[in-house]
Amino acid sequence: MAGTVVVTGASAGIGKAVALRFLAEGWNVALIARRAGALAGLAGSNTQALALPCDVSDETAVADAFAATVGRFGRIDVLFNNAGIARPSALIDEMPVADWRAMVDVNLTGMFLCARAAFGQMRRQSPQGGRIINNGSVSAHAPRPRSVAYTSTKHAISGLTKTLALDGRPYSIACGQIDIGNTATDLAAPIAKGVPQADGSIRAEPMMDIEDVAGAVLHMASLPLSSNVLTMTIMATNMPFVGRG
């Protein structure tokens, strides 16, 4: 199956890898991120790629980006709701409120706005339906030390996913979540060098190949709408997640 997918946070890391995998599989791909130059380079001259510079926390910009996707490709079959940010680790009383607000704006409100736009389009289009895949995190299950804002937003995404999975049933809209742990990206590079553990130690952690994540997202997206992966955890096999703490 191939159709039209919207990928947010598409300019780098997991979003870029997923976008490239979908393009290689013949999908139309709408690329959403804030960095216009990076998106333009990714899209190149590929007529199946549409670069849409957009801040996902901006309601109007999100609506315009999804309208442009439909204008170009006619419909939306899948949203990979991936855009997210992190800020320096801190205890709650030492964290700037501005850092909390920034992470909530992008990691939660941004995902809400993109899911809202996708859900509305999927309800209206014919044939009706589609799939929303939210990028959670293993932090949706177990926090790292000093990660109150990031962990809070990722727990909230689990609630968003389950509610959309329920509310989407009458409209053939499936919603699932992929919780990813320790992928080799620039953002996650410090994990491979050494990060704080729950016991107070600093240890390097195993990493997995980003292409394995892209393949997992493609698998979720390629299922018929009669089937849904509600939650998937994909992680480096030996990372300290099961039994964390």
Q: Residue 186 class from Cβ within 10 Å (0-12 exposed, 13-18 middle, 19+ buried)?
A: exposed
User: Could you say which of 21, 150, 207, 235 is catalytic?
Assistant: 150
Backbone angles phi, psi at 242, to 5 degrees: -65, 120
Nearest CA-CA partner of 220 in 12, 13, 18 = 18
Contact (CB, 8 A) for 17 and 210 = yes
Whether the CB-CB separation of 183 and 159 falls below 8 Å is answered with no
Asked about 150 being catalytic, the answer comes back as: yes
Which of 39, 47, 45 has its CA nearest to residue 7?
Answer: 39
CB-based contact 119:168 (threshold 8 Å): yes
Q: Which residues are catalytic?
A: 150
